[in-house]
């Protein structure tokens, strides 16, 4: 049977699918929250009610509503329910599936009250989003190649192989203006061209970088889990353009579901003749292996990644030579990020011109961000390049939690910079973020409110990066340790005159002189907070004061006797028994026992506990 024929059959089967589908998210968060059991319960209930023939249950992909996992969507109504429990199964079937009524209490929080049925795309969370990479979000079963094909899947590959020369594919990607989504934003078409033209050897490889070591980032994981074929198709097209015979997907080992899905997808593609010898009847052959990552953050750096796939110690090496000239086993190797690959099929299908019409002058298309921190709606979002931070935080994110004030946004993962609230109208693209002292990185976006201490933030990230340094080069290995020591001193109230200047000098050396991107970007959290929040450093060092009241060593709690009613709430709350006093009389707080957890401060109803700075002139 030809591929076309298969395609038609799968469309027909789809058309026969009954009136409603219950799509149960099978992303990581939802599986952890019990979506597997939910699916079984729905199936059983439908069978009991003899509805199995009309209503289908199928695993869905992550829609970004992970904060209310497990998530269940009823299609085609486009209604999404969150925090669904086993006890809700019966109700959902009786009231919604049979009765056509919405269960208001289960609707995902970001949505307005529904007067009538409304499609998923009309909820506040989605209005400003443009879905290219996440085009199949929540719409297909990630484990079904038929589902992917029914949604235009592998059409781009068919077009490339049958109608386009490899050079034309490269030109299309160049015209699209696609840039790498894994960090540095190198133009993808150009990278492919360098690799295609490299004369180092005839054998060429491509790699999909799914190491994603940034804490709190999960866009690549989610893509692999919810639409693995998009990545596979992008890679096959790339291999055709570059002339590569084999590809590797390097997946972080902590991502078992992503691993399983991408392996499944390559197997299905092989069964369909989309991988292997003579793809789609052409003379182009290509296959993909999936490699389990070694687990270190630095293994995401491309030269370390190459070493790691080769089975060697995952430490970076100096570039040049770049992997496009000398990569895996000395052969030209093109490495792209998961999201970069997933952008390729739509570009080939709809054209580079179409893609280039989205975004800003030098940054085209969309970017997936994992929006986390102190915003109301967290999750994965996809927005056109050039969307402002304000739109992301307030329109999509729904504003700051508990309506506190925004203080800063950290973009780009642990080695990104902190952008202050005053730059809220910054359009997010590669150039603007770099100008503001941060990076696009892989797309982490952490929102911080006024209760955040920026010195503490810098200390946190530098400590993370110190642990992740591979230890090869002097500035990163020795410098990060010394930077962490200085920051530790400062947050512990032991900062000395000269510390801020020494920290700054070190930061510049580490940034300028490190061997790889880890060291070269690691000082960003420090340099950006020194630039925008220097007064906080000075308050810590010179006045032993933490303006955000975060650094424990710099706070003393005390009872204000005039306000204390002697209610004894704080006595019960204190975990170390530092507060004492008879009922109805002002209490005592023993400084020598206090661990500064702030529990008393939290529970006191009369504002009788004060958290003061230890003031030293």
Partner 1 sequence: MVKRDRITITIDGRRRKAERGQSILEVAREAAIEIPTLCYHESLTPWGSCRLCVVEASQHGRTRVVASCVTPAEDGMVIKTNTQRIRDIRRMIITLLLARCPGLAILKNYANEFGIKRIPFEKGDEDCFLCGMCVRACSEIVGIGAIGFAHRGAKTEVEPPFGFASSACIGCGTCTTICPARTLTLEKVFARQTMHRGKDQIVGRCVVCETYYSGA
Pairing of strands 579-580, 588-589: antiparallel
Number of other CB atoms surrounding residue 239 within 10 Å: 26
The listed partner (ligand FES, partner 1, ligand FMN, none) that binds 337, CB under 5 to 8 Å by sort, is: ligand FMN
Closer residue to partner 1 in complex, CB, 508/531: 508
Q: What's the CA gap between 559 and 52, in Å, rounded? A: 65
25 lines the binding site for ligand FES (CB under 6 A): yes
- CB burial of residue 319 (10 Å; 0-12, 13-18, 19+): middle
Please enumerate in sequence order all residues whose Cβ is within 8 A of that of 224, keeping only pairs 6 or more positions apart, or say none.
210, 231, 251, 255, 258, 261, 262, 338
Closer residue to ligand FMN in complex, CB, 27/517: 517
303 lines the binding site for ligand SF4 (CB under 6 A): no
Instruction: Please give the C-alpha separations between residue 104 and each of 22, 77, 95, 107, in angstroms, as whole numbers.
Output: 17, 14, 11, 5
Structure tokens at 17: 């699918």
300 lines the binding site for partner 1 (CB under 8 A): no
Report the residue from 70, 166, 177, 183 that binds ligand FMN according to the rule CB under 6 A. Answer: 183
Query: Using an 8 Å Cβ cutoff, are 290 and 261 in contact?
Result: no
**Of 323, 144, 142, 349, residue with least CA distance to 250:** 323
182 lines the binding site for ligand FMN (CB under 6 A): yes
72 lines the binding site for ligand FES (CB under 6 A): no
Q: Which stretch binds ligand FES (CB under 6 A): 13-21, 27-35, 236-244, 301-309?
A: 27-35
Please enumerate in sequence order all residues whose Cβ is within 8 A of that of 390, keeping only pairs 6 or more positions apart, or say none.
424, 425
**Of 369, 338, 65, 59, residue with least CA distance to 224:** 338
Please enumerate in sequence order all residues whose Cβ is within 8 A of that of 451, keeping only pairs 6 or more positions apart, or say none.
404, 548, 549, 550
Closer residue to ligand FES in complex, CB, 93/223: 223
Pairing of strands 609-613, 72-75: unpaired
Q: Is there a cis peptide before residue 572, judged by omega within 30 degrees of 0?
A: no
Residue 59: HSE in the Cβ half-sphere, 13 Å Cα cutoff: 19
Calculated CA dihedral for residues 300, 303, 309, 311, nearest 10 degrees = -120
Closer residue to ligand SF4 in complex, CB, 129/469: 469
Query: Using an 8 Å Cβ cutoff, are 550 and 448 in contact?
Result: no
317 lines the binding site for ligand FMN (CB under 6 A): no
Q: Which of residues 44-63 bind ligand FES (CB under 6 A)?
A: 62-63
505 lines the binding site for partner 1 (CB under 8 A): yes
Phi/psi for 542 (5° steps) reads -90, -30
Calculated CA dihedral for residues 392, 370, 459, 301, nearest 10 degrees = -130
488 lines the binding site for partner 1 (CB under 8 A): no
198 lines the binding site for ligand FMN (CB under 6 A): no
Q: Which of residues 460-479 bind ligand SF4 (CB under 6 A)?
A: 469-473, 476-477
Calculated CA dihedral for residues 504, 508, 509, 512, nearest 10 degrees = 170
What's the residue count for the chain?
617
Question: Shortest approach of ligand FMN to residue 3 CB, angstroms?
Answer: 28
Report the residue from 46, 66, 262, 599 that binds ligand FES according to the rule CB under 6 A. Answer: 66
Q: Which stretch binds partner 1 (CB under 8 A): 35-43, 45-53, 309-317, 329-337?
A: 309-317
Q: To which residue do tokens 């999750």 refer?
A: 379
Query: Using an 8 Å Cβ cutoff, are 253 and 246 in contact?
Result: no
Q: What's the CA gap between 84 and 89, in Å, rounded? A: 8
Report the residue from 59, 495, 519, 523 that binds ligand SF4 according to the rule CB under 6 A. Answer: 519
371 lines the binding site for ligand FES (CB under 6 A): no
Closer residue to partner 1 in complex, CB, 400/527: 527
Q: Which stretch binds partner 1 (CB under 8 A): 162-170, 172-180, 469-477, 580-588?
A: 469-477
Report the residue from 506, 546, 578, 608 that binds partner 1 according to the rule CB under 8 A. Answer: 506
Question: Shortest approach of ligand FES to residue 410 CB, angstroms?
Answer: 22
Binding characters for ligand SF4, 314-343, by CB under 6 A (x = yes):
--x---------------------------
Report the residue from 38, 41, 69, 421 that binds ligand FES according to the rule CB under 6 A. Answer: 69
Question: Shortest approach of partner 1 to residue 519 CB, angstroms?
Answer: 9
Q: With contacts defined by CB under 6 A, how many residues of the chain interact with ligand FES?
A: 12
Binding characters for ligand SF4, 412-451, by CB under 6 A (x = yes):
----------------------------------------
Query: Using an 8 Å Cβ cutoff, are 226 and 260 in contact?
Result: no
Please enumerate in sequence order all residues whose Cβ is within 8 A of that of 144, keeping only pairs 6 or more positions apart, or say none.
none
472 lines the binding site for partner 1 (CB under 8 A): yes
Q: With contacts defined by CB under 8 A, how many residues of the chain interact with partner 1?
A: 33
- CB burial of residue 91 (10 Å; 0-12, 13-18, 19+): middle
Report the residue from 39, 46, 57, 71 that binds ligand FES according to the rule CB under 6 A. Answer: 71
Question: Shortest approach of ligand FES to residue 84 CB, angstroms?
Answer: 11
Residue numbers at the binding site for ligand FMN (CB under 6 A): 180-184, 186, 209, 211-213, 297-298, 300-302, 335-337, 340, 442, 516-518
Contacts with partner 1, residue ranges (CB under 8 A): 296, 313, 315, 317-318, 320, 466-475, 477-482, 485, 498, 502, 505-506, 508-509, 512-515
The residue ranges that bind ligand FES (CB under 6 A) are 25, 27-30, 62-66, 69, 71
Contacts with ligand SF4, residue ranges (CB under 6 A): 298, 316, 469-473, 476-477, 514-516, 518-519
């Amino acid at each position: 049977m030809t591929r076309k024929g298969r395609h038609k059959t799968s469309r027909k089967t789809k058309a026969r699918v009954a009136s409603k589908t219950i799509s149960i998210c099978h992303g990581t968060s939802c599986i952890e929250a019990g979506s597997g059991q939910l699916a079984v319960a729905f199936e059983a209930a439908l069978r009991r009610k003899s509805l199995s023939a009309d209503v289908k249950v199928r695993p869905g992909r992550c829609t970004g509503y992970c904060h209310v996992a497990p998530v269940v969507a009823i299609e085609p109504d486009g209604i999404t329910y969150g925090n669904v429990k086993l006890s809700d199964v019966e109700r959902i079937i009786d009231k919604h599936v049979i009765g056509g009524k919405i269960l208001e209490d289960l609707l995902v929080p970001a949505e307005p009250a529904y007067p009538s049925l409304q499609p998923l795309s009309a909820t506040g969370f989605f209005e400003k989003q443009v879905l290219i990479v996440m085009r199949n979000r929540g719409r297909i079963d990630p484990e079904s190649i038929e589902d992917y094909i029914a949604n235009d899947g592998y059409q781009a590959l068919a077009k490339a192989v049958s109608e386009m020369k490899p050079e034309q594919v490269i030109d299309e990607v160049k015209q699209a203006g696609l840039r790498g989504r894994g960090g540095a934003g190198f133009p993808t078409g150009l990278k492919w061209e360098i690799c295609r033209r490299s004369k180092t050897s005839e054998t060429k490889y491509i790699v999909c970088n799914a190491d994603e070591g940034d804490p709190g980032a999960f866009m690549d994981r989610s893509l692999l889990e919810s639409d693995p074929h998009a990545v596979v198709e992008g890679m096959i097209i790339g291999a055709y353009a570059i002339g590569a015979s084999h590809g590797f997907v390097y997946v972080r080992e902590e991502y078992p579901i992503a691993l399983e899905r991408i392996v499944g997808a390559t197997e299905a593609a092989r069964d369909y003749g989309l991988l292997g010898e003579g793809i789609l009847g052409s003379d182009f052959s290509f296959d993909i292996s999936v490699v389990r990552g070694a687990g270190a953050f630095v293994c995401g750096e491309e030269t370390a990644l190459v070493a790691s796939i080769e089975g060697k110690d995952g430490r970076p090496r100096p570039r040049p030579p770049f992997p496009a000239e000398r990569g895996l086993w000395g052969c030209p190797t093109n490495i792209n990020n998961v999201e970069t690959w997933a952008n390729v099929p739509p570009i080939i299908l709809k054209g580079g011109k179409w893609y280039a019409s989205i975004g800003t002058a030098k940054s085209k298309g969309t970017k997936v961000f994992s929006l986390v921190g102190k915003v109301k709606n967290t999750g994965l979002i996809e927005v056109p390049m050039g969307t402002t931070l304000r739109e992301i935080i307030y329109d999509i994110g729904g504003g700051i939690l508990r309506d506190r004030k925004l203080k800063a946004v950290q973009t780009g993962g642990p080695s990104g910079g902190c952008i202050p609230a005053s730059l809220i109208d910054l359009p997010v693209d590669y150039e603007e973020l770099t100008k503001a002292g941060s990076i696009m990185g892989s797309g982490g976006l952490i929102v911080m409110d006024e209760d955040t201490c920026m010195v503490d933030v810098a200390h946190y990230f530098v400590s993370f990066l110190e642990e992740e340094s591979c230890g090869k080069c002097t500035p990163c290995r020795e410098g990060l340790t010394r930077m962490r020591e200085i920051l530790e001193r400062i947050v512990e109230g032991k900062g000395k005159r000269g510390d801020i200047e020494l920290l700054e000098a070190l930061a510049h050396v580490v940034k300028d002189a490190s061997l790889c991107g880890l060291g070269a970007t690691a000082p960003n959290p420090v340099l950006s907070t020194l630039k925008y929040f220097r007064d906080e450093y000075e308050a810590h060092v010179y006045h032993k004061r933490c303006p955000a009241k975060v650094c424990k060593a710099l706070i003393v709690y005390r009872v204000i006797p005039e306000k204390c009613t002697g209610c004894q709430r704080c006595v019960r709350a204190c975990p170390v028994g530092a507060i004492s006093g008879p009922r109805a009389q002002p209490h005592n707080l023993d400084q020598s026992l206090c661990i500064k957890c702030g529990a008393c401060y939290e529970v006191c109803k009369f504002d009788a506990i004060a958290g003061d700075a230890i003031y030293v002139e």
